[in-house]
Amino acid sequence: MLILDRSGSMAGDPLANMKAGAKTFIDIIEEATDGVTDGQIGSGSRIGIVSFATTATADTQLITSVDTLKEAVNSLTAEGATNHADAFQKATELFDPMSANAKVMVMFTDGKTTAGELPGPVAAAARASGIIIYCIGLVGADGISVATLNDWTTDPDASHVAVTPDDADLEELFRELAANISKTGATNIVIDEAVHPDFEIQSVLPPTKGTAMMIDKHTLQWKMDELGVSANEGATLEFFVKHTGKDGGEKHVNEAISYSDTEGNVVPFPDPVVTVDCGEVIRPEPCPEPVTLTVEGCEDSIVLDAGDVALQSLGRILQLNVTVKHVCPDKRVALAVILTEMGKDGIEYPRGMKTMTLPAHKGSSCRDLLVQCISFVLPEDLSQTGSTTSLCQPCSFKARFLAHYIDTDFLCCDKVIQL
């Protein structure tokens, strides 16, 4: 059922362009049903016309004559208010509930509801009876909202709602929607995806339809026997990738995606981009060597000789991490850390200083360097808290970081001019 808005706001070019779009829609459906343009809609399919303003009118029943349908479209004139609920109701009544054919409504409108009942419940009842609803909207400053159209239509909204602010686009919207409706879906679908060499596929989740498998670390294949053959349908595949490249920045995840099916459909895919931060991690001080132990499956206790451990004085270990920002390639950095403790008297007391050289990186641009595990051993007997026997006293420290390049581009003058 084509449900066409002929309210007063459609006068002029909008009505003319809507008529052109509706007739194009009829032509595409005619050819799609039997492969020929003989003036008859074939293969048991039919189209009907309902137009609406203050009230709705059944301009034709569900018929096969292309000429009769186009005459009904050409006869429409613009006047009156906008009664969407009556339009949905009249179109619903024209369907034969006993027919095995798919039942589809295509609603076109350019304005908000200004007459009749609320259309939402009427559209919902139509959907509940098995009718698929599409909407085309001419959206202007005072026109229908996209959210309203989404509320009326069958899910998903992206494939059932088409909108434009320009009535000159209406014929193309009708054309695209007719092509979408007339397709029989896809069978024997094969999707091959290769991720960018800077990424590796870690795992692939079961898709919502069909089967998927990893071919290798960089490629996967997704197969479906059919999709959208009996009704509008979508499918989703999720998989996880890990960045393994050496450079950061904006990265395209996909290297290539190919799609094929028996019907020759062409399917566009998104091109996801992620931002990769390859900040280098520098550990100037090694962590202590771990003691390796094994607990057998049936053991619930274990006795282990862990060897010798040097006894340190009572105290604390403070471990710091710091990020040195925007370090340029091929330049070593001298980093100093000065640690002080705030005494009860409000005076800072030195607790330690460390200096280290950060190696130059070979990146293509300046980057951040993460320095981890800068450790200070702080004996309690040197603390300014006044306690030498307990670690329960709170301590307040301050850490200052100094960093500068060791390597520079400075060159001495090769000549000395004497005056």
When pLDDT is cut at 50, 70 and 90, the band that residue 115 belongs to is very high
Global model pTM greater than 0.85: no
User: What does the mean pLDDT of the chain come to?
Assistant: 86
- Return the pLDDT at 262: 82
| Cα–Cα separations (whole angstroms), residue 150 to 7, 130, 159, 160 | 21, 17, 10, 8
Does the pLDDT of residue 162 top 60, yes or no? yes
Q: What separation, in Å, do the N-terminal and C-terminal C-alpha atoms of the chain show?
A: 99
| Residue scoring higher pLDDT (267 or 318) | 318
The pLDDT value recorded for residue 412 is 62
In the numeric block, the tokens 């309902």 are attached to 50
Return d(Cα 231, Cα 209) in angstroms, integer.
Answer: 14
The larger pLDDT score, comparing residue 252 to residue 229, is at: 252
Tens of pLDDT, residue by residue over 364-412, are: 888 899 999 899 988 877 776 655 555 667 788 999 999 999 987 666 6
> What dotted CATH number matches 2-182?
3.40.50.410
Residue 119 has pLDDT above 80, yes or no: yes
pLDDT score of 121 more than 60: yes
Asked if the domains at 186-276 and 281-293+309-405 fall in one CATH topology, the answer is no
Confidence label for 308 from pLDDT (cuts 50, 70 and 90): confident
Report the half-sphere exposure of 395 (CA within 13 A, side-chain side): 26
What's the rounded Cα separation, in Å, for the pair 214 and 255?
Answer: 15
Rounded to the nearest 5°, which phi and psi values hold at 206? Answer: -60, 130
Q: Is a pLDDT exceeding 90 seen at residue 84?
A: yes
Q: What is the Cα–Cα distance from 167 to 361, expressed in whole angstroms?
A: 58
Nearest Cα residue to 45 out of 60, 22, 26, 58: 26
In whole angstroms, give the CA distance from residue 205 to residue 213: 9
The pLDDT tens digits of the residues spanning 288-299 come to: 778 888 888 787
- How far is CA 74 from each of CA 40, 49, 265, 327, 369, rounded to the nearest angstrom? 18, 11, 33, 71, 71
pLDDT in tens, 49-70: 999 999 999 999 999 999 999 9
User: 88-97, 196-205, 351-360, 410-419 — which is least confidently predicted?
Assistant: 410-419
Q: How far apart are CA 207 and CA 365, in angstroms?
A: 39
Q: Tell me: pLDDT of 182 over 90.
A: no
Quote the tokens at residue 181.
């409706």
Structure-token pair, residue 155: 């899910």
Sorted by where each begins, the domain ranges of the chain are 2-182, 186-276, 281-293+309-405
pLDDT band at 131 (very low <50, low <70, confident <90, very high): very high
Q: Does domain 281-293+309-405 have CATH number 3.30.70?
A: no
pLDDT over threshold 80, residue 174 = yes
Tallying the residues shown for the chain, one arrives at 419
Instruction: Looking at the structure, give the CATH architecture of the domain made up of residues 186-276.
Output: Sandwich (2.60)
The predicted structure's pLDDT at residue 15: 93
User: Could you give the 3-state DSSP secondary structure of residue 147?
Assistant: helix
Question: pLDDT tens, 338-357?
Answer: 999 988 888 888 999 999 99
Mean pLDDT of 33-47: 85
